[in-house]
Every structure is written in structure tokens, then in C-alpha cells.
């Protein structure tokens, strides 16, 4: 894998609670120079990213109902509409996994169906975060089926705020049991090239990471890449 091909997998992320505007402009500048797939930041920072990334192919991604997923469907829809108007291209929506764990699948299906429909109308790519660390195997497969039923673009493993992040086993579980074209985003705890490569080999086509620059530098053999 080349540094450019690895970079194309990466959603370079800064969801730190203490992130400054300077931090976020650096995130965007690194993504622009490195050719990352997207930046991921909070909804209120989408206008900053739109300005910083104007004229570049880097997508602007943001999070909805983050990190708990327990906002109402109406609140999540309002967030989606607001970030679309602000210039976002992708939304990573936290599933109400609490409802899923309590067996309220119909409620989860209804919410995802509405949010996916609204996002499609607004031409936003959709990734649904299911927080795998809090789900058992049966619930993970149910989450996959619900995401497929709603027609979202990606199922995403984790927020990075839960008890654990992405695992190879969870990515492989989704890859082996999907029935259609849904893609897989792994996120949470991806700090080494070996882990990134293992997740890609298991079936992930996007990686959410706060270590994007370090990963491409590791891919380059530890050399300082001239882009950065």
C-alpha cells in the first residue's frame, strides 16, 4: 500500500473537547496536503472546515447525536439539516443503540429510515455509528440489518468515546454478514499502521482516526513526508 492509497481510507478526526480553531485548521491543512478522504469535526466547526477546504476534494464530515445516540429523531434530523446548510458532505449518525439493546428495534428502524431519507435528499453520505463495544453478537448483526434496511452508506463501529474502539473481529463480522453494498467504517483506537492494515484487510473501506498523519508517515517508513 502506498501512502496515497492509505490516505484515501482516512477520515482524519478531531473531536477533542478542548480542540481550538487553530487545531481544526491544522486538521484541515493536513487533510488537504495528505489527500485524506475526509475530516471529521463537530457540527459547529463545519463552516470553518468549509472555508479551510474550499476548492479541495477533501470531504467535510460531522457527527450527529454524538456520542450517546439518545437525542430524539427530530433533534438528529434538525442537526442533519443544519450541517447540510453549513456545507457538510458526510454525516456520522449515532444510532440509538440503547433502544436496540432494550429490544426496541422498530423504533431504531423508524429513526434510521427517516434520517437516511433526509440525508439522501440533502445529498449527504451517511455513516451510522452502532458502538459495537456495548453490543453482543446478536445485537451487532441486528444493527447491521437495520442499517442495511435503512439504506445507509456505511455502518461504523465506534464513536471513540465508548469502552473500546474498532476491532478486526467486528469489522469481519459485518463484512461476512452484509447482504448488499453497505460499506464499513472502523473507528476508535486506530493508532498504528498494523492495526489500520488489519482493519482494511478485514473489510473496512474507511478508517476514522485522530492519528492520520502519523499513520501515513509510518507507511512511508518513518520518514518525514514532504507534504507535512
- Measured CA to CA, the distance from residue 52 to residue 204 in angstroms comes to 28
Give the pairing type, strands 59-64 and 38-41.
parallel
Q: Is 127 a catalytic residue?
A: no
Choice among 76, 127, 140, 185 that is catalytic = 185
Q: Give the whole-angstrom CA distance, residue 101 versus residue 56.
A: 41
Gap between the Cα atoms of 210 and 115, Å rounded: 26
Nearest to 211 by CA among 168, 170, 166: 166
156 is an active site residue: yes
For the chain, how are helix, strand and coil distributed in percent, rounded to 5? 50, 15, 35
Single out the catalytic residue among 76, 127, 156, 195.
156
Cell readout for 160 is 471513540
* Of 30, 92, 153, 170, catalytic: 92
Catalytic site positions: 92, 156, 185
Amino acid at each position: 500500500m502506498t501512502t496515497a492509497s492509505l490516505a484515501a481510507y482516512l477520515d482524519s478526526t478531531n473531536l477533542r473537547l478542548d480542540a481550538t480553531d487553530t487545531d481544526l485548521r491544522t486538521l484541515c491543512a493536513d487533510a488537504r496536503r495528505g489527500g485524506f478522504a475526509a475530516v471529521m469535526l463537530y457540527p459547529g466547526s463545519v463552516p470553518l472546515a468549509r472555508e479551510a477546504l474550499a476548492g479541495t476534494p477533501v470531504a467535510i464530515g460531522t457527527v450527529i447525536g454524538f456520542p450517546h445516540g439518545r437525542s430524539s429523531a427530530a433533534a438528529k434530523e434538525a442537526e442533519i439539516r443544519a450541517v447540510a446548510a453549513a456545507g457538510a458532505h458526510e454525516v456520522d449518525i449515532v444510532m440509538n443503540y440503547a433502544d436496540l439493546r432494550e429490544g426496541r428495534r422498530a423504533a431504531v428502524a423508524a429513526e434510521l429510515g427517516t434520517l437516511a431519507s433526509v440525508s439522501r435528499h440533502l445529498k449527504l453520505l451517511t455513516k451510522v455509528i452502532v458502538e459495537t463495544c456495548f453490543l453482543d453478537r446478536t445485537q451487532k448483526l441486528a444493527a447491521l440489518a437495520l442499517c442495511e434496511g435503512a439504506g445507509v452508506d456505511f455502518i461504523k463501529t465506534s464513536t471513540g468515546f465508548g469502552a473500546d474502539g474498532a476491532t478486526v473481529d467486528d469489522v469481519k463480522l459485518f463484512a461476512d454478514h452484509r447482504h448488499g453494498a453497505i460499506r464499513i467504517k472502523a473507528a476508535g483506537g486506530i493508532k498504528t499502521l498494523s492495526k489500520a492494515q488489519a482493519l482494511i484487510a478485514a473489510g473496512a473501506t474507511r478508517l476514522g482516526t485522530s492519528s492520520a498523519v502519523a499513520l501515513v508517515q509510518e507507511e512511508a517508513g518513518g520518514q518525514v513526508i514532504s507534504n507535512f
